[in-house]
A and B are shown apart, each in its own frame.
Chain A
Amino acid sequence: MTISEIRARFPILSSRVYGKSLVYIDNAATAQRLDTVIDRQLALQKKANANIHRAVHFLAQEATEEYESCREAVREYLNAASKDEIIFTSGTTASINLVAFSFCEAFVNQGDEIIVSEAEHHSDIVPWQMACQRKGASLRVLPVDVDGHLRVDLLDSMLSERTRLVAVCHISNVLGLVNPIGEIVRIAHAKGVPVLVDGAQGIVHQRVDVQALDCDFYAISGHKVYAATGTGALYGKRKYLEVMPPYMGGGEMISHVSFENTTYAPLPGKFEAGTQNINAAPTLKDAIDFLKQLDDKELQSEIDAVKDYVYDSLTADGRVKLYGVPRGTISKIPLFSFTVEGAHHEDLALILDKMGIALRSGQMCAEPLMDRYGVTGMLRASFAPYNTMEEAEYFIKSLDKAIKMLV
């Protein structure tokens, strides 16, 4: 398979903006939609729209089958032990909020501690802060070093008798480094502390095996892996999910309701209150099929060539400061956050936009990390498997032109 074959499957990529070919390298914010994803979502609306699990009629069965077979596809892709451990959510943010509420209700008390890393997205900071405020617990922060590597060496000493959970990203949306989750889990588990992994970026560029990682929760979004927006999942170990109280009450999450007493449905229903995203969630199946197809030697070497070219070009440019530098066994995905001395990220992004390049500028929902590096924002170019070498070269050339306009 080749990049140009993949590219043909994303209708939006042939768009023109300001009369120029669109170069979409804001994939870490949201990736583009795959043809089969668009088709399935439309087909479900046209041919199989019915509420799931409830009614006995034909359409309801069709819709339920689509939804539940997708749960199996997610389970298989993440290698979870059971389908009951896969909860559908609207995305990573919802998955983390679910755990931050329900896990903390069950396991966190006054004076307890939760550890997050300095490299977290706001979505993996704020829900824990809210939980800590509710429970009278406190948040502790695992720092990153100057190159953006988590100070895993400090983790053991930070884990105390009061630590209830460690929440950490698999890959930071700013730094793009693949964190050593296996090692973090081993250290935390040695003290009996469970680990939640924010997998929003983690699932995008590599195969994830939750049993091999042995993490206790893994949160993902569909829209970052070419599925419909508003889709996502939470993997959680049964031993925790069973004990955690529901996050939201409503239809479908109950087993029996009376005004005196309500009992809840077994997993995963307990955590899926109300009408689910029935026309969209099944598109995760198409996304997973696509992710599996990416496991192709020829294609990977083409993708790696694009990544290496951008990395080498940016690191060779003395005007550019790149954040998240790979070292040793810690590799980097094709996600490049950087600043340019004397040129503001907003100015660069505005100019590049007019050259047809869509990339991200600003704080990237990681204000504490911006503070860590003493910047008010960064520029981020994040590549997907459909981004060609030609686009990469155009980006580097355009960046040079933009910098020259400003500096």
Chain B
Amino acid sequence: MKYRVYFFFIIFFPVYSFSQETRLSESIISIAEELAADESDPEAISLYIEKLFDLFENPVMINSADQDEISRLFFLTDFQVKILSGYIKSSGKIISVYELANLPGFEKETALMMIPFISLGEVRKENAYHSAWRNTLITNIIWKPEYKDSSLLGSQVKILTKYKFSANGFSGGITAEKDQGEELLQGNPPLPDLLSGHVAWSGKGLIRRIVIGDYSARFGQGTNINTSIHTGLSLHAPGYMSARSEIRPYTSTDENNFFRGAGAEFSISNLSASFFYSRNSIDATLSTEPDSEYIKSFYTSGLHNTSSSLLKKDVITNLVYGINLSYNLRNLRIGTTWSEERFSLPVRPDLHDPEKIFAFDGNSNSVYSIYYNSLINKILLYGEFSVNNLMRHAVLQGLTIRPSDRLSINLFFRHYDEGYFSFHGNGPGGSSNTGTGKSILGNFMFEAAKHLFISGGCEVQEFPWLRYRTSSPSYRIKRAIRMRFVPNDNLLIESSYYYNMTTADSDEKNRIPELKNLTTRSLSTTFRYSLSENLTMGTRIYYKLAEQKDTRGMILLQEMNYRFGKLPLTLWLRYCLFNTDDWDTRIYTYENDLLYSYSIPALYGRGSRSYLMAGWKLSDKADVRFKYGVLSKLQTGNIYAYSEEFRLQIRLFI
């Protein structure tokens, strides 16, 4: 699983009087569309959105001054958490979110970004932990009527159910999921395709957290262990934010990239230690040779809706264990991580394929890493070095400078050696994976005038070995610039330009193909305006050009969000027309969706995409959300083909 989440994008959402969830969506849109456009693993988006919704629904009690509580704002750096906590302790209480922008290490955008996810309300005496039992049950049902395939084992309905409880620092939960085409219950004993659970305890003393069951972990910059959300830089990022090391209960739906066992965090003064142990069953494609059983490849989609995919389910036992130690000095944090990973069968790549010459071969892998981050005046330095048992390494180094309160500049370099593997690692970088290669990235964020923000960046990636559809060393260049204008609380205007140049094999046959450049440029403009407290409108225009084929794509969409005054009802409407010449000029558009869910269709061809979503709050203990979407596409012969989708969500709080 290769996560790449640029949560820096959310730095751009403004303070406008849109509804809370509209604000949240603004932050999600940029991130999710960028992820989707890079064709990263959809689970990365899922995880990110889940984190944001979780924060949105359970905002951080910022005035608690508790570092653990504040660190739930996963987009803040360790230093920002520390500074914020210290400020609240010394000054008492934050009255306005605008105070945050004046803190050292913070900037206006960071403060704005935090708004939907924090509460300035009364601090609970029990700190971050509820004293009463709190139960939450959420069920999503997704049905696509036209999704019919006789080879599928189960119904076309996708069902996801999550149950969580918490009280006095204790928490627990169960997640069950059945994807489209999967059987409702399978195996012996009959269980859902994904069944995940955990119990956890969080405290303030020596033992900070213990999780038994399914959990995720991240240490340092993530090149060694990171099954949680991936931090990183985008071309628009105003600064680098390194997420805190953590062991957290796992509640997402990726069926392979999590730990199953036990993990614990301990802390004595400035020293923190984490231990983890996991024994999980994962999916893989095995060899069919009778005398030599080995892993041909890992199967990571999580779909088990056909007989052949079901044969890949849970066929490998994956054992992972390790230790992380970190020590805090005043403005310096240093840490080290060791992890060991074993598979029940060896991995044997096809070494006749030149692309796989450096692929992992064997059944165990050890990784050692050291990392640091340090704040010196207005300069943030961070880096990590990891090496595996083959003495292949990964190194990254970053620098953030804030020469003035209105300008921040980032530089970031990473290098992943051929032969460096970390199956549960996911370090930062501009690429969607932590595969081999080098990249250097620079970006800036500038408050050019009152209410006007300009940001941009450039990244150059070098791939010294062969890649998919690329038979020789290659490179990639990305550039972007974005302007955001927020003249008042009710209006947002944003324009952005992207340039993406990558390489791929030419179409020549019977010889080693030469590389050809594939360049796309896209321009998008968004207007978002709030007509009243209850009504928000949005207009977006996209234009995309694929240079080599000279093909074009464009989209015009209008959306509306209305909250009824007297009824506990909210409506979301979107009407979108698209016209693209081919797949290369496809455009990804984020859609409002059920809570803890998302929809980012890639629109191509000619047609329209519309949806209507309604959310009804039945009581303080229950709400329902329903979405109907329809995609209509013009086919040859002036005939329209369409696909409908129904989504239903029920939530209960007890």
Task: Tell me whether A and B are bound partners.
Answer: no
Q: Name B's A-contacting residues (CB within 8 A).
A: none
Q: Name A's B-contacting residues (CB within 8 A).
A: none
